[in-house]
Structure 1
Amino acid sequence: MIKSITQVRDDFSQSGVSIAKWARDNNFSPDLVYRILKNNKVPQRGESHRIAVKLRIKEQKDMD
């Protein structure tokens, strides 16, 4: 199920897990995760895309 960026932010607030801790636990830059959640645009490529997929704000597209 795809979530909105607002839903993901709310999930972090409700869970008590910080965005920075989640980022470090998943081997992502906390700064980049914060930028994705602040920007309100779903990333299209690279590390930002991988973060968006992991946060479930974007579906993983199979590369043929």
Structure 2
Amino acid sequence: MPATRTPKQAKEWLAQQGKTVQEFAREHGLDPFTCYQVLSGAKKGQRGESHRAAVLLGIKEGVVADAPDQYGRRKTDIGTVIPK
């Protein structure tokens, strides 16, 4: 994953991929409203689902306990660190 993005850069990243926030949320098992809140800055992504959304959007570095397969998750992993 690239270096940490700003919320604006995360929105542009989604647009470059041709994805809506709804599609991104569905792909990652997130609540779309939470994703919108993280992208708007209403939620900072400190814990819970907003943390997971912020990490997967690249807005912050962190650990996601149930990262998608594209990050190399194995069944034996307890948590996955998603680097810069």
What is the TM-score with the length of structure 1 in the denominator?
0.82
| Root mean square deviation of aligned Cα | 1.6
| Deviation beyond 3 Å, 4+ runs, structure 1 | none
Unaligned runs of 5+ in 1: none
| Higher share of residues assigned helix | 1
Q: Which residue matches 1:28?
A: 30
Q: Tell me the CA shift for residue 40 of structure 1.
A: 5.9
How far has the Cα of 1:42 moved from its partner?
A: 2.9
Q: Report how many aligned residue pairs link the two structures.
A: 61
Q: SS at the partner of 1:12?
A: helix
Of structures 1 and 2, the one with the larger relative CO (CA 8 A, separation 6+) is 1
Which amino acid is the alignment partner of residue 30 of structure 2? Answer: F
Any stretches of 5+ residues in structure 2 without a counterpart? 64-84
1:1-59 CA distance string (max 9 Å, x none): 11111100111122211110110010000111011111265321111011111111111
In the alignment, structure 1 residue 16 sits paired with structure 2 residue 18: yes
TM-score by length of 2: 0.65
Question: Of Structure 1 and Structure 2, which has the larger fraction of its residues in strand?
Answer: 2
What's the counterpart of residue 44 of structure 1?
A: 46
Decide which structure has the larger Cα Rg and report it: 2
